[in-house]
Copies of this chain bind each other. A is one copy, B any other.
């Protein structure tokens, strides 16, 4: 399935679940939509925290809902489920946000680790949630973001369990996907990130853990949702975690080389 076909399936409600295995060659993105008054702060927050909040493209113009990475898409209808936030609280989870959209809103598309799960699978390192067709578990950490103006909050991470001997290969496979969070931010001790209980994720499905598992954590594009809460934004729209925007970009578009002199 292509990105365009995936968006059509979502828009027509023939696909209503998480987008993980849909259009596996295409880049998926987190959505965060904020009032224009907070757009410069969110742009700065993303620039200062590029591992959890890598921008897939520059923020859209105020009011715009057609992104450059999918010129025939509509960000108001082409995600399976949305979250609506008022004063930092989740108030609704609709499947369409056309009635809420207005000229004052600025949309941000932020990279998603679903983008590299297919590459992990092809390398013989299939993430367990991917093999089991579950949503990835995600956790709010106690690692503070670098704040930006009115915006602050903790980093959110996704977790995939691996055997210790696999971790360096997992790092190498995911590292080039810098716009999809790149290599892990931590592995081993969840307590070092302030995660108290791996079996109770804050978003997504609980992990099915096995005895020799080492939890491996990546920056997660749900992070702006922790910022919306911590900063008590008066209004915001986001995607429902796991229900991503599927773009027309392919994975190779994100495999930026590392620059070095």
Contact = CB atoms under 8 A, between A and B. Distances in A.
A144 B144 CA distance: 10
Contacts of A258: 40, 43-44, 47
Interface string A184-200: 11100000110000000
> 5 shortest A-B CB distances, which residue pairs?
A59-B261, A51-B146, A40-B260, A43-B260, A39-B260
Contacts of A48: 50-51, 178, 182
Interface residues on A, range: 35 or more
Given A43-B261, A59-B260, 9 more contacts: A48-B182, A51-B146, A58-B259, A58-B261, A60-B261, A61-B261, A106-B260, A144-B185, A149-B183
B59 A146 contact: no
A155 to B, nearest CB: 9
Nearest to A62: B261
A170 to B, nearest CB: 13
A258 to B, nearest CB: 5
Contact of A148 (B44, B148, B183): B183
A58 B61 CA distance: 30
A233 to B, nearest CB: 16
A1 interface: no
A64 interface: yes
Given A48-B50, A50-B47, A185-B146, A106 B261 contact: yes
Interface in A171-220: 171, 175, 178, 182-186, 192-193, 219
A147 interface: yes
A143 interface: yes
Interface in A13-59: 39-40, 43-44, 47-51, 58-59
